[in-house]
Structure 1
């Protein structure tokens, strides 16, 4: 295993593969990445990466022999979306969440409405490390591919957050600890993919219902009750909770909580006070907001805001 901490900028050394000219998809020449730190284990490569994109993104992405996991530590560019052309055709795009997964060999078309600087922890895991836990292999059906674009699974998030900490602030035994966290992450990814397939294929929610839920959550404010979300989808609360888990591989409660944190990150880029952001999102106090934010993001709202200002400065 190798621990390589590089604080320099590696412009052009990008983990995103440029798309060839295909209709509106042009070869990317405007995005560079800087691997500020990198850690390599026997089963994975972990990068603390900054992507500098000066205009809307429209590119193709593909990895052979590895699962690609991206946890965005800053808000993603506006309306970030992904489409598996070979599976869905050219017109269906689904939103990219704070965490997304691209399976080995699958081509993902990524689009955004704006350009923006982005910081991510990227983990590329050898396919064999995940596939060994999938006894009968895995079929990348529609539900699995869509669920991989917006992962709110708390254990996957915890593993990626811990890897981010070890890459950014290495200490005694960082390489050995990263090896163990990657092994856990591989198991969590396998379990996540298997969970999406459990039950009959009709057990998930239709894509229009998932879009309605996401659109409502993006309105901000206090989290809506499950009864409201169920009514939007014209189903019962029981159908909502079971169907959402089958479709996304996580509970709707986890998804609601994570969406609030994503909205909070965007609002922390403004001049609004932390207290007003907390109350606007329905938290009982600034301290309860700070606790929830730190638990999800690994740092306090104030630390997140200060880090963002340092980057922009």
Structure 2
């Protein structure tokens, strides 16, 4: 696999006007800032249409239970329709916008990222569940939607309680909610996560390192060294769990970031290329075309034509 070329980016990225990037928002919660929280549950019953512009919240994972109503979710420029009852699972760093087309009764569960990591570590299937954003349909049974609705009401009550053991109670209810969603997603049938628990944890660590260094053009050996494992172990774990080689996983993260910048930012293709660690825009264009099937400029034009013209951040 061709290694990306390093590049000095300090001077080429500079611009006379500020460059627009994907909004990274800190979610509003009802508790005072000084009060520590790790799970927040909100119930939203806005009437009519409601839209949020594409944004990300890297400090939180989010579950949105749409009890009724429907809409479209924008995931990195791709439109994904949904209709209640369903659950929208939004991992940290997931760039998303929401357009509720009709009156929607929805519950929003926001989970602090460090606590989410602790919960995920208890069952390796949870890591796979949060691996990608997803829509989990619950329309096949009225009982399922009712059960999750009741579970969310209990979770909200426990999370807002100051009774003895409320943290343990919140934790238990959140784990039950995730377990129910895991089972409803028929996750075992998707084949997204395989391998031993140890391999799953290795790949999770590798993904985290990719998020931190994907633009630094590090060789695979550097990732393996940071994880204190061999290249053979890294490749075996990625093949077992993600069914991809590690270089492909890094390239996929680069493409995701490139798409976000092309759709939501105002940087030129050249600026995006240098910002992602490419030596020149022509090499970046060839790489993008090979992975996506379109040149960056073509992808930007097509994706922006599909975006709503009036949208405001959450």
Report the TM-score, using the length of structure 2 for normalisation: 0.43
Query: Higher relative CO (CA 8 A, sep ≥ 6), structure 1 or 2?
Result: 2
Relative to the length of structure 1, the TM-score reads 0.43
